[in-house]
Amino acid sequence: MGNALSSAEQAALKKSWAAIKPNAQKTGIETFVKLFKDNPKYKAKFWRIKDVSNDKLNSNKALHCHSLMFTRAVGAMAENIEDTQMIDEVCHRLAYRHRRLNINEKDLKVATDIFIDKMGSGVDTKVWKTAFDKMNPTVGKYMKELEKAGI
């Protein structure tokens, strides 16, 4: 992940994740419900969700599954933040999964900004913004590489 976080930022991210983790799935669901309600173009990219009415999103298992995958990727990033090779692998996998949906770095920022907003009080949102501001461009770079490779 370009320009890695400082040791202090890494420690803050890990500490913050420990506070978020117990409610991560709920926070993820809230993130994607808001994302899809406010941005129908994103909802349309997910074939198992695109036809679900907005009032049923909160209980939709496909949305819950995507939220689970999202929060596990975030958790993998937070729990392994000092392991640059692991972070790089997470970014590669995110690029591969999102490239086929025609989702780009700016789209990822929309989702991660909502996730940060949904974290609640008592969480160091500044360190999350810093982390995502470094991770999203890395994922974007890998998506461009996949595109060039015809993948």
CATH no. for residue 141?
A: 1.10.490.10
Instruction: Provide mean pLDDT across the span 44-61.
Output: 97
Structural domain count, the chain: 1
Q: Is 51 domain-assigned?
A: yes
pLDDT digits (tens, 9 = 90+) for 64-92: 999 999 999 999 999 999 999 999 999 99
Domain that holds residue 79: 7-148
List Cα–Cα distances, 121 to 19, 26, 116, 124, in angstroms: 10, 15, 10, 8
Q: Note whether residue 140 is domain-resident.
A: yes
How many residues in total does the chain contain?
A: 151
As a whole-number percent, the residues of the chain with pLDDT over 90 amount to 94
Domain-embedded: residue 2: no
Whole-number Å distance between alpha carbons of 64 and 24: 11
pLDDT digits (tens, 9 = 90+) for 89-134: 999 999 999 999 999 999 999 999 999 999 988 899 999 999 999 9
Residue at 25 is within a domain: yes
CB-based burial label for 71 (10 Å; 0-12, 13-18, 19+): buried
pLDDT beyond 70 at 1: no
Q: What is the pLDDT of residue 47?
A: 94
Task: Quickly count: other Cβ atoms within 10 Å of residue 67's Cβ.
Answer: 22
